[in-house]
Amino acid sequence: MKIVMLGAPGAGKGTQAKMIAEKYTIPHISTGDIFRANIKEGTPLGLEAKSYMDQGKLVPDELTVKILLDRVAKDDCRNGYVLDGFPRTIPQANVLKEALEKQNDKIDYAINVDVPDENIVRRMSGRRACVTCGATYHIEHVPPKKEGICDKCGSELILRDDDKPETVLNRLKIYHDQTQPLIDFYSNEGILKEVDGTIDVKDVFENITKILG
């Protein structure tokens, strides 16, 4: 069972990917994690990726897919995997598709966690983080006992720049420009499944498990 997770930043696709990985005993694969592991281990692919990153350049799609294929060739991926954060663009999806086809392989499901932009802005702008210990809260869903103060260490809670409405709207614009077309791509492939991401996390997961069986 090979799955690609789709959804805007803040839609909760990472949370769902972890829950899928746990239930079906398959690895949750984030490209960021793979890059970090390869760089830390000093692998040839990692060193090549690092040379781009050190210059502030994006790692080319072909190299990203090489690193990804190297990861999914490992034994723990025999029964499948969940890809989180890749592909992000149509060129990446095409490179991945072609590389898997060469191995007589393919993605089985592309699951889109659908959440309207206004919900995401509200969800993310309600987040608060502790400046000292890094604990996170949400003013609606997981509020601290005392407003603006961390329960764990008593330090101040802040709204991170990443979670400010103007930043979130900018990230959503990039998502719609680059990643939204993937929904059409996987729809044309006949493997797109959509779930409502505005409901409770457990209910979203239940709907995903009904799709996966």
The most distant pair of C-alpha atoms in the chain lies apart, rounded to whole Å, by 57
Whether 149 contacts 124, CB under 8 Å: no
Which of the residues 13, 66, 71, 128 is marked catalytic? 13
Whether 45 contacts 70, CB under 8 Å: yes
**Of 182, 174, 134, 180, nearest in space to 157 by CA:** 134
The whole-angstrom separation of Cα 63 and Cα 127 is 35
Whether 124 contacts 161, CB under 8 Å: no
| 133, amino acid identity | C
Q: Is 145 a catalytic residue?
A: no
Beginning with the edge strand found earlier in the chain, give each strand of the sheet holding 157-158 in spatial order: 136-138, 127-130, 157-158
Q: Is 193 a catalytic residue?
A: no
Residue 133: Cβ within 10 Å count: 12
Q: Are strands 127-130 and 136-138 parallel, antiparallel or unpaired?
A: antiparallel
DSSP H helices in 3-83: 13-24, 31-41, 44-54, 61-72
Q: Is 171 a catalytic residue?
A: yes
Which of the residues 152, 160, 173, 210 is marked catalytic? 160
Which of the residues 18, 50, 164, 171 is marked catalytic? 171
Which of the residues 88, 122, 164, 193 is marked catalytic? 88
Q: Exposed, middle or buried: residue 81 (CB in 10 Å: 0-12, 13-18, 19+)?
A: buried
Q: Is 127 a catalytic residue?
A: yes
Which of the residues 66, 123, 127, 128 is marked catalytic? 127
Q: Which two tokens stand for residue 91?
A: 């060129």
Q: Which residues belong to the active site?
A: 13, 88, 127, 160, 171
